[in-house]
């Protein structure tokens, strides 16, 4: 028994490489970003979408009948079981019912959720996923392609919200409507120009539009966020959106120049905010971080081309997303 406890403690220490004191001061994005596999705990979303962690995550397989995982080297293809099931169901339903060839799936969460070294401030509790607007090609992408192909912007160059109608199709609109149709979906973030297109073409069936929320960027993907699952009391729900289809005053503000105006130069430069530390996350996240790992056999499968040498460029930092 004692031997087992010692082995467990050693494994926990190896996962983080730091003692408790060092953990408290180290940026949480470094601690969670270096863990390769999920915690051997029951599935749980802990905290808020932008301040939390996740246990019991599972890997989305790199290939399915109607999806392919992009950027697998980031190790962000992990989500709570209900998120992974949602992606798989959406992919198949959209192909069968909406004429969508298949999903190119971007980031979900890290194996134990938590803050990421770059790219997102949310995606921390295993309930967020980015899905590219680009349809899946009718072939399996190579490992190199999955790391280097760039998602296409569907907003005209030089503008913030003007939809490029030479690229957008009715199938894109059907995909988003399908994505919003499931009861577990809390909201979906898209560029304001995309939201306007959906408002203009939705017709009389408009209830689903309430879930579609305009946000900065999101010109090349939709960001789906699921609600806190039943029974996960540590998961903090997001404030509900206003009633209606969201095609009125709120959208008008997002379509104006106000959200994109550059702030004036401050007289005194602001001090950069210190990075989030483990102490700033829910206390249960320490348990998640230190828990023994379940292994990452699924993750090894998702790391496309595991036996071949692939020249993968280092990821470049992108503006922080919601």
Burial class of residue 109 in the structure, from the number of CB atoms within 10 Å of its CB (0-12 exposed, 13-18 middle, 19+ buried): buried
Give me the sign of the Cα torsion angle 299, 303, 306, 312: negative
The per-residue DSSP string of 225-278 comes to EEPPPTT-TTBPPPPPPPSS-S-SHHHHHHHSSGGGPPPPPPSSPPPPPPPPBG
Mean pLDDT of the chain: 87
Burial class of residue 97 in the structure, from the number of CB atoms within 10 Å of its CB (0-12 exposed, 13-18 middle, 19+ buried): exposed
Contact by Cβ (8 Å): 255, 215:
no
Q: In this structure, what are the phi and psi dihedrals at residue 95, rounded to the nearest 5 degrees?
A: -70, -45
pLDDT attached to residue 21: 61
Digit-coded pLDDT (tens) for 93-134: 999 999 999 999 999 999 999 999 988 889 999 999 999 999
The stretches in the chain having pLDDT less than 70 are 1-22, 295-322
Distance CA 64, CA 75 (A): 17
Contact by Cβ (8 Å): 195, 224:
no
How far from chain centre, in Å, is Cα 164?
24
pLDDT attached to residue 18: 53
**SS3 category, 15:** helix
Domains of the chain, with CATH numbers?
2-260+274-302 (3.30.1380.10)
Pairing of the two strands 58-59 and 78-79: antiparallel
pLDDT attached to residue 270: 77
Contact by Cβ (8 Å): 46, 291:
no
Digit-coded pLDDT (tens) for 40-87: 999 999 999 999 999 999 999 999 999 999 999 999 999 999 999 999
CA distance to 48, 184, 248, per residue, from 277 (Å): 15, 30, 39
């Amino acid at each position: 028994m004692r031997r087992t406890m010692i082995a467990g403690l050693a494994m926990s220490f190896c996962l983080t490489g730091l003692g408790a004191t060092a953990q408290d001061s180290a940026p949480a994005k470094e601690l969670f970003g270096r863990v390769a596999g999920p915690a051997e705990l029951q599935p749980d979303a802990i905290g808020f979408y932008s301040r939390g962690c996740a246990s019991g995550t599972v890997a989305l397989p790199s290939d399915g009948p109607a999806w392919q995982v992009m950027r697998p080297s980031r190790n962000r293809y992990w989500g709570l079981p209900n998120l992974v099931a949602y992606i798989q169901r959406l992919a198949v339903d959209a192909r069968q019912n909406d004429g969508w060839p298949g999903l190119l799936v971007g980031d979900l969460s890290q194996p134990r959720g938590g803050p990421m070294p770059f790219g997102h401030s949310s995606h921390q509790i295993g309930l967020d996923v980015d899905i590219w607007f680009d349809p899946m090609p009718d072939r399996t992408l190579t490992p190199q392609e999955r790391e280097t192909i760039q998602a296409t912007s569907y907003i005209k160059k030089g503008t913030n919200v003007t939809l490029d109608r030479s690229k957008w199709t009715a199938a894109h609109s059907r995909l988003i409507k399908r994505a919003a149709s499931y009861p577990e979906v809390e909201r979906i973030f898209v560029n304001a120009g995309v939201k306007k297109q959906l408002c203009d073409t939705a017709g009389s069936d408009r209830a689903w539009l309430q879930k579609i929320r305009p946000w900065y960027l999101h010109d090349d993907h939709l960001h789906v966020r699921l609600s806190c699952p039943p029974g996960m009391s540590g998961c903090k729900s997001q404030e509900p959106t206003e009633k209606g289809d969201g095609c009125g005053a709120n959208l008008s503000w997002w379509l104006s120049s106000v959200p994109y105006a550059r702030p004036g130069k401050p007289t005194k430069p602001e001090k950069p905010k210190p990075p989030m530390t483990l102490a700033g996350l829910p206390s249960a996240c320490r348990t998640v971080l230190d828990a023994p790992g379940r292994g990452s056999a699924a993750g090894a499968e998702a790391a496309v081309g595991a036996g071949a040498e692939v020249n993968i460029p280092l990821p470049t930092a992108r503006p922080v997303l919601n």
